[in-house]
Amino acid sequence: MRVLIVEDDGETARAVAAGLRRARMAADVAYDGTAALERLLGADGAAYDVVVLDRDLPGTHGDEVCAALVAAGCRSRVLMLTAAGGADDIVDGLGRGADDYLAKPFDFPVLVARIAALARRAHPAVPPVVRHGDLLLDSARRTAARGGRELALTPKEFGVLELLLAAGGRTVSAEELLDRVWDEAADPFTSAVKITVSRLRTKLGAPPVIETVARSGYRI
């Protein structure tokens, strides 16, 4: 799951990004509305499942960012995160195309749960708990287990497993995994995907559930 945080307060943006990474999400940051639109409407925009959008932004106001995403048919879901939390503000924000609205200050577990819920709507619907044989992944709680044994997965391992299970048997390329599970700092020429899949296979144990499709990618 990949999230873009659009927040002009650097300390808040970095804190939210760090917390989301601990919750096994890939998080990037934009500090104004114009930079956010350049990312979201550019070539890499489809990689973001959820946009956490501050409303009062420099450059391009958060309301205008939201409207532009809706007009462009962007699949990323928008969670407005702002200090203006009155009923009228919430109604106005949702009316501009936001998918959810959370007022500051907020409980971080609530933010994580809402992002996870929105991410399930960003692409073809996936249930919050996915089962494949004796393998279970709970995207809301960010946990995975096999045969009743909880798996100690890193954020990247969890993200790869989540995306492969969500694909429902479709082959997922290494490029798509890199786009959707890693953040913008990832080297496109790295072997990180291959290494992560190898470690994930070891943790999943036997019988194997991840298949390598030659010159194409991986699938469950």
9-21 tens-digit pLDDT:
999 999 999 999 9
* Cα–Cα distance measured from residue 55 to residue 149, given in angstroms and rounded to the nearest whole number: 42
Specify whether the CB–CB gap between 99 and 77 falls below 8 A.
yes
Q: What does the pLDDT look like over 146-167, one tens digit per residue?
A: 999 999 999 899 989 998 998 8
Is the Cβ–Cβ distance between 144 and 153 less than 8 Å? yes
Class of domain 129-219: mainly alpha
Per-residue pLDDT, 120: 74
What does the DSSP assignment read for 136-162?
EEETTTTEEEETTEEP---HHHHHHHH
Please indicate whether the domains covering 2-122 and 129-219 agree at the CATH topology level. Answer: no
Q: Residue 60: CB partners within 8 Å, gap ≥ 6?
A: 32, 33, 34, 36, 37, 68
Give the start-to-end residue ranges of the domains of the chain. Answer: 2-122, 129-219
* CATH number belonging to domain 2-122: 3.40.50.2300
Nearest CA to 100 among 84, 78, 82?
78
Q: pLDDT band at residue 23, thresholds of 50, 70 and 90?
A: confident
**Residues sharing a CB contact under 8 Å with residue 118, sequence separation 6 or more, in sequence order:** 49, 50, 77, 79, 99, 100
**Beta strand 77-82 with 100-103: parallel, antiparallel or unpaired?**
parallel
- The predicted pLDDT at position 34 comes to 92
d(Cα 123, Cα 3) in Å, to the nearest integer?
Answer: 14
What CA–CA distance (Å, rounded) separates 193 from 175?
9
User: Considering the chain, what is the average pLDDT of its residues?
Assistant: 86
- At residue 56, the pLDDT reads 85
DSSP 31: S
